[in-house]
Structure 1
Amino acid sequence: MALDMEQLRRIFYEECRENLEVLERELLALDPDGDVDLDIINTIFRAAHSIKGGGATFNLNEISQFTHVMETLLDEAREGKRRLDADTIDLLLKGGDCINSMLVAYETDADFDHELRDDLTKQLNQLLGGDSPDEAQSSATSDEATPTEGDGDWVIRFIPNKDMFFSGNDPVRILRELFDLGVHCSVECITDDLPIFSELEPEMCYLQWHIVVDGELEKHLIEEIFEWVEDECSLDISKLDTNTSGSGHAESSDASGNETSKAASEPAAESAAVPVPPKPKTPAKAAAKADAVSSIRVEIDKVDNLINLVGELVITQSMLTELGQNFSESKLERLQAGLDQLLQNTKELQESVLNIRMLPISFAFNRFPRLIRDLSSQLGKTVELVIEGEQTELDKTVLERITDPLVHLVRNAVDHGLEGPEARLSNGKSETGRVSLNAYHQGGSIVIEVRDDGAGLNKERVWKKAIEKGLLHHDMALDDLSDHQVYNLIFAPGFSTAEQVSDVSGRGVGMDVVKRNIEDLGGHIEVDSEPNVGSIFRISLPLTLAILDGQLIKLADQVFVVPLISIIESIQIESDRVKVATGGVELYRLREENIPILRLKEEFELGETGALDKQLLCLVEAGGNRVGLLLDEMLGQQQVVIKSLESNYTRVNGISGATILGDGSVSLILDVQGLMSGFLSRVGDSKSHIAAA
């Protein structure tokens, strides 16, 4: 079995990011003014220690060396020598960001901000009492090598498991770290288990080490070096008292750190001490990934369920194969039963596979405590973040693409939505503002809400700004627009009511991009607001981008798919309810509402529709607007697998993708939002048409 170091390195990248998330989350959970929580500090220390050890294992020395300084600071905190105040926590958070930037650089074979790294290292070392990165590093090392009572040396018996290399660990790296402590070490390599050359497997570790370390060293520092491999070796650390003649009195420690007292006669070394190979002078940068590999961790229960379903599918396939041999009419009933079972197995397998891609939205929500902390400090506001529904699951692809729009909405909520402390107190509110994130399932969609208890949107101010920017006609009165229509104006390109441009927001760029990104995912966003109460931005998204519940429709001789989530209802047109408004826009009067009619045949140049009498009208909704799609025929409903049209052909307006139907024909999937946006922009403001009708 070949040892794929690149694959192991990619696993480390994933684990490193997980440890960075732990480090950030636990640092944010620390109360700098409250009681010291040693459990949290130990968790942070272990995360930093894992990053340092993994970085050294894969020769990512810049990550390992930088994290070592952070780890030293955290070690002082867990030993009670230092209190992590707000400034220190901020510095450690910045250190986590720096490690992440170095990780990205190693992954992509790019460069990172060395000045930032050096500046953070200097600040960390100043906290540790050093004057410069090099001096402080040396100081930290010398602090670790604090003399202890007793004159005896430490004797270490290190016997790695034979399969240690498969976990990416390297005994030589561990021995180097012993030398880095700045004390004298002598090493004997024991080769008793080394097989003859013809039986040697190069991926196995057959060597053992007998090490003697200068006694002027605390034992826990030795244990920390071997902590990374404590489950992958046999380890004995004992104190050899040189004042005792003959045999030495040894105080030993096993791999778990449990100490015992025993008399042991240490064998004399039969060979000269073997020096440990020095560190390479030039850091070896990890090879760049040829392609970005996206991975996902799956619960074992999901994998077991998938395996069981595959087993059921194999059984059904075997049954059908047997039926196919010497088939006769008497076997029709069994064949039908087998096909029904195959259909059921396939459906369950499809749901199981899609379930593997589902991740809790906490993966996106977890970044916001840090964001709120930074924004609060930057803007001089006190903000409380409330997160609900973080275990709500959605497709990994949707999760990755919705994160940036959510970040923008949260930044706007803190900057524009929440008032300053003095303004809140004068309005009878608590000085602390609140931003809430909530996610929940609704039908076949997931709904994400970003809510704040700020000043709310100012309708008159939005209306005036829209007229000023030419988004509304100058004679359009505020009373002619509903609250919903006014609030939707904030999603227009370049729209902003910010009086001052800041680093946080207010440049008039962003909300239109947020809306477009959400619509590209097949979702929509709407906003509700109440003066002095706050605002709610509500995002509705499909659970997955791989499978779509669709309604098959027919135009001329072509079959199209309309996403079922967009359909409100379908009706047969009554000609006396059709009106023609200014500009020739056809409207259908339905329950006191005028619905614009979009003739799909003409839209796709498939021929003329003709008279509207007795035609079918499919009412769809997207982005807060409703339109009636004129159809020839409605067929059945069906789940379809979405194939990208843009990546296989080119982007087509009004079409979001394609699918293959059961008869092997290709059917195009309608982009309802794109169709409606193009149609309404051509016919002008729908409000004016409705008013004229």
Structure 2
Amino acid sequence: MDITDFYDTFFEEAEELLADMERYLLELDVEEPDAEQLNAIFRAAHSIKGGAGTFGFDVLQKTTHLFENLLDHARRGELALRRDIVDTFLETKDMLHDQLDAYRNGNEPDQEAFERICRTLQQLALEEIGQDLDGGGPAAAAVVATPAPEPAPETPPAAPTPAGGDAGQLVVVLLGVGDENRRLLVAELAQLGEVRGQSGDQARYEVTLETTASADDIEAVMCFIIEPEQIEVRAPAATGQEALAAIADAPVEPPVAPAAAEPVVDAKPAPPAKPRPAVKGAGESTSIRVAVDKVDQIINLVGELIITQSMLDQTVSELDGVTNGSLVNGMNLLQRNARDLQEAVMSIRMIPMDFVFSRFPRVVRETSGKLGKQIELVTEGESTELDKSLTERIIDPLTHLVRNSLDHGIESPEAREAAGKRRTGKLVLSAKHQGGNILIEVIDDGAGLDRDRLLAKARENGLNVSDAMSDDEVWQLIFAPGFSTAREVTDVSGRGVGMDVVKRNIQGMGGHVQIMSTPGEGTTIRIVLPLTLAILDGMSIKVGGEMFILPLSAVLESLQPAREDLYAMAGDDVVLKVRDEYLPVVAVHEALDVPDARIELTETIAVIVQGEGRRYALLVDDLVGQQQVVVKNLETNYRKVPGVSAATILGDGSVALILDITGLHRLSRSKKEARRPVRAAHSLEALSDNPLETSS
């Protein structure tokens, strides 16, 4: 049995412990720290240390050893917490995360950074409590579950084996472990020492082990294989006094009468002291860990099943319903079951938005500290679920929007007070479902966007703007490349880099950004995303003999173009007037070189779509209908195609391309540029009587 088989489990659980540690640190009230939060932080560090020692991750073990000792002083009230001390704890957590990443990638952690964080922790201990951390940290391990006062850190390490690494005997009790797993676990125990005896059955199996390892080390590695409640580690003696002697080398505080008996609790460690501390949900034993690629494979297979079902359904629809009634009924049942299966499988990849929101207390804390602002962060809709692939991709854009709201949106405490507001600004992160989309909002109660200032800055940057622009159009200017209204460059913002990337990344996820702002009251930035990128609600359109899919979220309306609403522009551009708005016309057959399509503009259908904040009129031959399609990545399976975002397989087995709205417009313009000065006048000459004739 290779211990490296459990590396991934350790890395995943250590990541979760570090995330919980950060959450508790950010929630700590330094004036009146909660004992349970301090204990949870301590237990997380202790669990990571035990696992790191077992797997031979020395740098990680030594760092958590020092950190654990310092936390022990804090939870016993010997170290008075301050904001800067909590900041040091957070910095240490970041260092642990970096070390974990290094080991995960098969590298050694940065030695210089390791030495630096060790010096920082040692210096903090010497300045605040006048003690060296190396002398006493391990003693805390024996009292993880004990709320009573603990021995001083100078006491010897608490372990059920003799000090100095001498071998001693321990009894490892396995509870409810099957025969095959038990054999593997006994083999693993044999690597930690010499197995002296075995007895029992599946319900309770005892292994006597002679080892130099501590009970904590054994529990740490075993609990990455089985559940914490399935293992007990105790001394061979059955009496309470012998068990006490095995786990408590340090003397107990004499003034406290009950203290002499309390360490007996550690003969059978309480659940909070396990490597999976009380930060887990009660139902963890009913869950399993599955690699994401396995889930993706199942989703892909279910997609193929849906496509096959659609093919069968189309074939059956051509049969006589009376003669083949049972077949039709069976196909209807198959369709319902296939859709239910699809929804069930898709839900596996859905994770709550708390995965995203939990990162922002740290961002708000650090950014507001740099800016000298007081910020209250409120999160809403943490249980709202989104596809895992999207939650990972939305973190960076959302981080930039949050930092932007803190820097540009919310005023300084003095400015807020002068405006009659609370000195503390409020930032709200919310998520909710709306139809087939998820709405993520970043809301601040700051000064709001300044329309005149944005227009002035746009003109200064050479952007084509006018005073007649609507507020929505003006607000969208902040997403222009290089656009920034910051008066000075700071390490938070001011370089005009980022907001355009935010918009581009969100659009790359099939979403869009909306901005609502009221001067003096604040700004709301709303991100609208599909729940998943694996399934798409689309509109089927026909151009010539080809079928294409338009994302339904981008389709606004469709209409038959009238001759009086079409206007020729300079060159061979055409615009369509729709309710006093002139929309660029994109002929799909021209952009994608589709033969046998309708070329007379008034005989086509104009589908009004929106992409990157602009509206376009796509000219198509026919609207076929609305349907849900399984998205296939075209770039992975073939190559990147301009104007096309992905592909799907239709019910008849044919492949249909899913169109990229903005990419299609760019492709259309580039082809027109290539054709100039030759004009495709076959239908434009008929429009020459229309009054609008301007340069493009």
Query: TM-score, length-normalised on structure 2?
Result: 0.75
Q: 2:47 aligns with which of 46, 50, 58?
A: 50
CA contact (8 A) 2:353 2:383 kept: yes
CA contact (8 A) 2:234 2:267 kept: no
Q: Deviation at 1:412?
A: 0.9
Distance 1:644 1:593 in 2: 35
1:323 is aligned to none
* C-alpha spacing 1:691/1:110, structure 2 compared with 1 (3 Å): farther
- Which amino acid counterpart does residue 208 of structure 2 have in structure 1? Q
- Which amino acid counterpart does residue 45 of structure 1 have in structure 2? F
Deviations along 1:626-664, whole A, 9 cap, x unmatched? 211111111122211111111222222211011111222
Gaps of 5+ in 2: 140-151, 223-227, 246-259, 270-289, 313-319, 674-691
* C-alpha spacing 1:172/1:391, structure 2 compared with 1 (3 Å): same
| Matched position secondary structure for 1:457 | coil
* C-alpha spacing 1:54/1:560, structure 2 compared with 1 (3 Å): same
Distance 1:414 1:681 in 2: 40
CA contact (8 A) 1:622 1:673 kept: yes
1:265 is aligned to none
Deviations along 1:216-252, whole A, 9 cap, x unmatched? xxxxxx876676467413514754699xxxxxxx989
Q: Deviation at 1:296?
A: 9.3
Distance 1:93 1:554 in 2: 57
CA contact (8 A) 1:91 1:120 kept: no
Distance 1:168 1:692 in 2: 82
Deviations along 1:329-356, whole A, 9 cap, x unmatched? 9983322222222121111111111111
Q: 1:535 aligns with which of 519, 523, 531?
A: 523
CA contact (8 A) 1:658 1:667 kept: yes
CA contact (8 A) 2:567 2:693 kept: no
Q: 2:648 aligns with which of 659, 668, 681?
A: 659
1:325 is aligned to none
1:630 is aligned to 619
Please say if 1:208 is aligned against 2:208.
yes
Deviations along 1:391-411, whole A, 9 cap, x unmatched? 111111111111110011111
Q: 2:59 aligns with which of 59, 62, 83?
A: 62
Please say if 1:79 is aligned against 2:76.
yes
Distance 1:435 1:168 in 2: 53
* C-alpha spacing 1:387/1:130, structure 2 compared with 1 (3 Å): closer
* C-alpha spacing 1:680/1:358, structure 2 compared with 1 (3 Å): farther
- Which amino acid counterpart does residue 415 of structure 1 have in structure 2? D
Q: Deviation at 1:594?
A: 3.0
CA contact (8 A) 2:232 2:268 kept: no
Please say if 1:28 is aligned against 2:31.
no
Distance 2:664 2:624 in 1: 21
Distance 1:599 1:129 in 2: 74
Q: Deviation at 1:541?
A: 0.8
* C-alpha spacing 1:251/1:82, structure 2 compared with 1 (3 Å): closer
CA contact (8 A) 1:563 1:670 kept: yes
Q: Deviation at 1:56?
A: 1.6
CA contact (8 A) 1:159 1:235 kept: yes
Distance 1:168 1:550 in 2: 56
Counterparts of residues 76-155 of structure 1 (less than 5 Å): 76-129=73-126, 136-138=133-135, 140=137, 143-144=152-153, 146=155
Q: 1:12 aligns with which of 5, 10, 13?
A: 10
Tell which deviates more after alignment, 489-498 or 94-103: 489-498
2:541 is aligned to 553
Distance 1:64 1:297 in 2: 32
Please say if 1:466 is aligned against 2:462.
no
CA contact (8 A) 1:362 1:390 kept: yes
* C-alpha spacing 1:690/1:16, structure 2 compared with 1 (3 Å): farther
2:579 is aligned to 591
Tell which deviates more after alignment, 458-467 or 561-570: 458-467
Distance 2:336 2:93 in 1: 48
Deviations along 1:13-33, whole A, 9 cap, x unmatched? 111111011000011111102
Gaps of 5+ in 1: 176-188, 196-204, 214-221, 243-249, 260-292, 321-327
2:592 is aligned to 604
2:606 is aligned to 617
1:649 is aligned to 638
* C-alpha spacing 1:330/1:118, structure 2 compared with 1 (3 Å): same
Deviations along 1:167-217, whole A, 9 cap, x unmatched? 799658988xxxxxxxxxxxxx5623399xxxxxxxxx985146899xxxx
* C-alpha spacing 1:381/1:690, structure 2 compared with 1 (3 Å): farther
Let me know the Cα RMSD of the aligned residues: 4.1
Q: 1:38 aligns with which of 30, 35, 38?
A: 35
| Matched position secondary structure for 2:602 | coil
Counterparts of residues 247-286 of structure 1 (less than 5 Å): 257=267
Q: Deviation at 1:625?
A: 1.9
- Which amino acid counterpart does residue 666 of structure 1 have in structure 2? V
CA contact (8 A) 1:41 1:78 kept: yes
Please say if 1:193 is aligned against 2:190.
no
| Matched position secondary structure for 2:492 | coil
| Matched position secondary structure for 1:349 | helix
Distance 1:482 1:139 in 2: 67
Distance 2:111 2:535 in 1: 45
* C-alpha spacing 1:436/1:80, structure 2 compared with 1 (3 Å): same
Distance 1:331 1:57 in 2: 70
Distance 1:239 1:206 in 2: 20
Deviations along 1:650-689, whole A, 9 cap, x unmatched? 22221101111122211110012333466689999xxxx8
Please say if 1:453 is aligned against 2:445.
yes
Q: Deviation at 1:624?
A: 2.6
* C-alpha spacing 1:39/1:615, structure 2 compared with 1 (3 Å): same
Q: 2:172 aligns with which of 153, 159, 166?
A: 159
Distance 2:108 2:233 in 1: 40
Q: Deviation at 1:531?
A: 2.0
- Which amino acid counterpart does residue 31 of structure 1 have in structure 2? D
| Matched position secondary structure for 2:324 | helix
Deviations along 1:466-511, whole A, 9 cap, x unmatched? 2222222xxx54x232222222122111111222111111112111
CA contact (8 A) 1:519 1:673 kept: no
* C-alpha spacing 1:653/1:342, structure 2 compared with 1 (3 Å): same
Distance 1:575 1:329 in 2: 45
CA contact (8 A) 1:527 1:538 kept: yes
1:674 is aligned to 663
Deviations along 1:298-342, whole A, 9 cap, x unmatched? 9xxxx9xx9xxx9xx9xxx9xx9xxxxxxx999833222222221
Query: TM-score, length-normalised on structure 1?
Result: 0.76
Distance 1:164 1:63 in 2: 29
* C-alpha spacing 1:258/1:364, structure 2 compared with 1 (3 Å): closer
* C-alpha spacing 1:56/1:582, structure 2 compared with 1 (3 Å): same
Please say if 1:394 is aligned against 2:386.
yes
| Matched position secondary structure for 1:433 | strand
Distance 2:335 2:120 in 1: 64
- Which amino acid counterpart does residue 533 of structure 2 have in structure 1? L
Distance 2:384 2:216 in 1: 39
CA contact (8 A) 1:128 1:140 kept: no
Distance 2:186 2:63 in 1: 21
* C-alpha spacing 1:683/1:169, structure 2 compared with 1 (3 Å): farther
| Matched position secondary structure for 2:510 | coil
1:430 is aligned to 422
Q: 2:355 aligns with which of 360, 363, 373?
A: 363
Q: Deviation at 1:38?
A: 0.9
* C-alpha spacing 1:258/1:595, structure 2 compared with 1 (3 Å): closer
- The number of residues matched between the two structures is 588
